[in-house]
Amino acid sequence: MRYTGIWQFDAKMCMLVLAAINMGIFHLGAFRSVAQWDLAPSKPPLAAKLAGGISLTIWVIIVSLGRWIGFV
């Protein structure tokens, strides 16, 4: 209860929800063809790259907000 009302904490929780949604979309979409990724030596599909980039961005924001919470 101590952290509720701190916007950094609320934003971090929203980012965690977005990370879960991103994971779900990835597993329902691009991950279905993961077996074919090893057969074709080309690069991964655009959907997989996009999901990875979004995930990386979200997790950098989550860590940053988590560190910021300690200073407010």
Checking if the pLDDT of 70 tops 90, the result is no
pLDDT tens, residue by residue, 42-68: 777 888 889 999 999 999 999 999 999
pLDDT tens, residue by residue, 9-51: 999 999 999 999 999 999 998 888 777 777 777 777 888 889 9
| Helices 7-28 and 46-69, packing angle to 10 deg | 160
Residue with tokens 């950094």: 8
2, 57, 65 from 71: Cα distances, Å: 14, 22, 10
Which one, of 6, 23, 8, lies nearest residue 64 by Cα?
Answer: 8
Checking if the pLDDT of 3 tops 80, the result is no
14: alpha, beta or left, given left = phi > 0 and alpha = psi -120 to 50? alpha
